[in-house]
Structure 1
Amino acid sequence: MKRNVLLVGAGGVAHVAAHKLAQNNDLFGNIYIASRSLDACSDILDSIERKNNYKDPANKIAAKRIDALNVHETIKLIKDLGISIVINLASAFCNMSILEACIETGAAYIDTAIHEDPDKVCENPPWYENYEWKRKDRCKEKSVTAILGAGFDPGVVNAYVAYAKKHFFDTIDTIDIMDVNAGSHGKYFATNFDPEINFREFKKVWTWIDRQWVEKAVHAEKQVYDFPVVGKQPVYLTGHDELHSLSKNIDANSIRFWMGFGDHYINVFNVLKNIGLLSEKPVKTSEGLEVIPLKVLKACLPDPKTLAPNYTGNTCIGDLIVGTKDGRKKELFIYNVCDHKSCYEEVESQAISYTAGVPAVAAAILVARGDWDTKTMVNVEELDPDPFIDLLNNIGLPTETIKKSYSKKRAPRTKNK
């Protein structure tokens, strides 16, 4: 069944998603890219044209202007365009307003991150309980499909857990989600997605250990892991969106998130933090101008979209899962490796944006096909992972696995008396 799609946002992830929607537009009706900046939307359409990524030229792909924080404006656009699926790739500050518009119109809703309140950073877990989950009953009452966190992490890594639980484990002890970017963009310092959202993550670490929430200091725990393709990389214990739903939906003793950072990144980060440039609180200049340091820093750093042309190397993101099967200890690393250069050649993007944008479109395809048209609100791990992973294998994000089994321990022998 073809459905008109509204893609909200025009950043790096939306750029990728627009390309992937165009590559699969025979499955949909009309596709619209909406943002506060029509120029940014038009740049994406120009990129799709350059790469000749329209599968069916007869179907419309057009740009629209929208203030995604304005619920009434979003409702009107959804109704005027006959939208059935909304993919929210705008700032996480917009989640609640876009979700509200979908609930009111009946359009399916897909996002890739937890909602953020500009005045609250690293909220107490489970974070989803403060925002999205409060609308769960209304989605069910109105038969509105709402799929939360359908990027890579959160998103694909959640599906990896569900896949492992379905096919490989009877019980799960630990889940270690690991995200490393072993690529190089050639800049002195940059973030791979919105710097404001990026740095707000690193105020504190909430992690799930021994079935309870534990608060840790940022970048306080480090390990070196030998990843496929990219080799040994340092990763740091970090809080992240997916822990807030996995801790509720998956029966596991510990669920942790580890992100890769090089020494240079850590050094620059510490300087920025220590002089106050990572603060979301306003300050006044000597001229009496009120500014927010983090927003000033964002304006000074490279736009993540500009990193793509010269990016080299690979990302590796996956789940290291330890549990049991048939009474034996089992270990599984389920992962994806993504090449920056290949992403640029295909959609003029870097791999970080690619890994977040492609799954959101895969989710939209599954909603349009009916596989994931849930008529209620869910996180990705609550859905059947098989069609999602199969689809990702075919549209740019293949899944690999490394399995390790341990011999079943024998009971100690007893001497005959």
Structure 2
Amino acid sequence: MKKNVLIIGAGGVGHVVAHKCAQNNDVLGDIHIASRTLEKCTEIVASVMEKKSLKTEGKVEAHALDAMDVEATKALIQKTGAQIVINVGSAFVNMSVLSACIATGAAYIDTAIHEDPLKICETPPWYANYEWKRREECEKAGVTAILGAGFDPGVVNAYARLAKDDYFDRIDSIDIIDVNAGDHGRYFATNFDPEINFREFTGQVWSWQNGEWTSNKMFEIRKDWDLPVVGTRPTYMTGHDEIHSLSQNLGVPDVRFWMGFGERYITVFTVLKNLGLLSEQPVKTAEGQEVVPLKVVKAVLPDPSSLAPDYKGKTCIGDVVKGVKDGKEREVFIYNVADHEEAYGEVGSQGISYTAGVPAAAAAILIAKGDWDIKKMANVEELAPRPFLDLLNRIGLPTRIKDADGDRLLTFES
């Protein structure tokens, strides 16, 4: 059984992961939080103590770390005795952290695909550009590496696998829908790292249709969905991490991702992009100072974690799956609804961070107990979904299903 967790990243998601690991420290052991900015880590430690999140007596410690430095990350893993590393830092550090885990034997978990800061929207499938190249390395070292274990990617991958296992003989399409119907009261802000958020939407929109990669422009294809709790919401087809693994692992001809956007977001995003302010390439000011426009935009926007106290409303994220069962056409919507105010009340975070952080902690618990300690690299849909979804039901993210039989909570055998 693996013990002791090192959480890399002290943003909103790291905050949630720390609280959820603390609530399960009887399984996970000591908890360590590391980031470039030590102050952010100490604030999370203070929050864990203030909310009395620790289930049993144990350590919760803060550390300064440049996670791009493989040797420093290896040294911290060894110093803390961490056998599980949860990487919720910038997507730019994935390969460095993975290298440290392979070298030390620690299990690795992340919640988003690796990105090269100088490249946007690389050739699909994106996982093949970095992560999947290291499969053999992980297996040879006997290192468990669970990729994309947030909500999307992550839980939605488990929903897709559950649909394949339990509800269909043949799946024809998977449409992943992510709608945030919450309101934080700010004129404009992003719910997670602005740099990563904007990069996600400045390139081509890659989807998997008719068994091949299809390219569109951002905000080119709109679809309105009538969803439980949040009602009818406009969404736009968007490129996203989970398309790139689901398309290769589940043999489904159509896999698409739909993100909800309000008109204000689209307007501000379009203006920033047209002005060149979302560029990741450095420019020189009239004074001769070199700056990266995208980093400047990030610097002037609110820190996503600061949105939590005023956030109200709910999220609805899930998979619309269509196909055939017992010779008849079938459609199901497997989903979760999360509440921003409830998330803040429990762990001091907004709902977007909550939905991303809880699954990462759940993955760590499953590795610690052995269920997911597979000694190789895998995306979530390659793993047994029931233990994961059962655990999520119990720690804050219940799964529901809407189909011809109605709308109900799904329960799973432990």
Q: TM over 0.5, yes or no?
A: yes
Within the alignment, does 1:294 sit opposite 2:303 as a pair? no
Distance 1:46 1:103 in 2: 31
Distance 1:403 1:117 in 2: 40
**What secondary structure is seen at the aligned counterpart in 2 of 1:288?**
coil
Identity %: 63
Structure 2: which amino acid aligns with 1:131? Y
Within the alignment, does 1:232 sit opposite 2:232 as a pair? yes
Distance 1:144 1:297 in 2: 38
Instruction: Check whether the contact 2:9–2:35 (CA below 8 A) recurs between aligned residues.
Output: yes
1:351-362 maps to which residues of 2 (within 5 A)?
Answer: 351-362=351-362
Within the alignment, does 1:219 sit opposite 2:219 as a pair? yes
Change (3 A) 1:372 1:2: closer
Deviation per CA, 1:254-285: give whole Å up to 9, x if none: 00000000111111111111111111111111
Deviation per CA, 1:55-107: give whole Å up to 9, x if none: 11x21111111110000111111112211100001100000000000001110
Within the alignment, does 1:205 sit opposite 2:209 as a pair? no
Query: In the TM superposition, what is the alpha-carbon distance from 1:2 to its structure 2 partner?
Result: 5.1
Within the alignment, does 1:398 sit opposite 2:398 as a pair? yes
**What secondary structure is seen at the aligned counterpart in 2 of 1:59?**
coil
Within the alignment, does 1:386 sit opposite 2:394 as a pair? no
1:281-320 maps to which residues of 2 (within 5 A)?
Answer: 281-320=281-320
Deviation per CA, 1:376-409: give whole Å up to 9, x if none: 000000000000000000000000001138xxxx
Distance 2:350 2:245 in 1: 28
**What secondary structure is seen at the aligned counterpart in 2 of 1:252?**
coil
Q: Which residue of 2 aligns with 1:374?
A: 374
TM-score scaled by structure 1? 0.96
Structure 2: which amino acid aligns with 1:70? D
**What secondary structure is seen at the aligned counterpart in 1 of 2:232?**
strand
Query: In the TM superposition, what is the alpha-carbon distance from 1:315 to its structure 2 partner?
Result: 0.3
Q: Which residue of 2 aligns with 1:270?
A: 270
* Paired positions, count: 404
Within the alignment, does 1:333 sit opposite 2:329 as a pair? no
Distance 2:236 2:136 in 1: 37
Q: Which residue of 1 aligns with 2:408?
A: none
Q: Which residue of 2 aligns with 1:409?
A: none
1:137-176 maps to which residues of 2 (within 5 A)?
Answer: 137-176=136-175
Distance 1:2 1:153 in 2: 26
Change (3 A) 1:363 1:117: same
1:96-111 maps to which residues of 2 (within 5 A)?
Answer: 96-111=95-110
Q: Which residue of 1 aligns with 2:256?
A: 256
Distance 2:374 2:52 in 1: 33
Q: Which residue of 1 aligns with 2:410?
A: none
Distance 2:59 2:276 in 1: 47
Q: Which residue of 2 aligns with 1:73?
A: 72
**What secondary structure is seen at the aligned counterpart in 1 of 2:92?**
helix
Distance 1:335 1:124 in 2: 29
Distance 1:195 1:149 in 2: 19
Deviation per CA, 1:13-70: give whole Å up to 9, x if none: 00000000111111122110011111000111111122111111x2111111111000
Structure 1: which amino acid aligns with 2:77? I
Distance 1:33 1:185 in 2: 27
Deviation per CA, 1:320-357: give whole Å up to 9, x if none: 00000011001000000000000000000000000000
Unaligned ranges ≥5, structure 1? 406-417
Distance 1:133 1:181 in 2: 31
Distance 1:45 1:309 in 2: 18
Distance 1:285 1:255 in 2: 43
Unaligned ranges ≥5, structure 2? 406-414
Larger radius of gyration: 1
Distance 1:342 1:77 in 2: 34
Distance 1:268 1:141 in 2: 47
Q: Which residue of 2 aligns with 1:84?
A: 83
**What secondary structure is seen at the aligned counterpart in 2 of 1:229?**
coil
Q: Which residue of 2 aligns with 1:322?
A: 322
**What secondary structure is seen at the aligned counterpart in 1 of 2:123?**
coil
Distance 2:23 2:29 in 1: 13
Distance 1:252 1:328 in 2: 17
Query: In the TM superposition, what is the alpha-carbon distance from 1:251 to its structure 2 partner?
Result: 1.4
Instruction: Check whether the contact 2:2–2:84 (CA below 8 A) recurs between aligned residues.
Output: no
Query: In the TM superposition, what is the alpha-carbon distance from 1:114 to its structure 2 partner?
Result: 0.6
Deviation per CA, 1:295-341: give whole Å up to 9, x if none: 00000000000000000000000000000001100100000000000
Q: Which residue of 1 aligns with 2:58?
A: 59
Distance 1:78 1:263 in 2: 45
Structure 1: which amino acid aligns with 2:376? T
Distance 1:49 1:353 in 2: 19
Structure 1: which amino acid aligns with 2:58? N
Q: Which residue of 2 aligns with 1:242?
A: 242
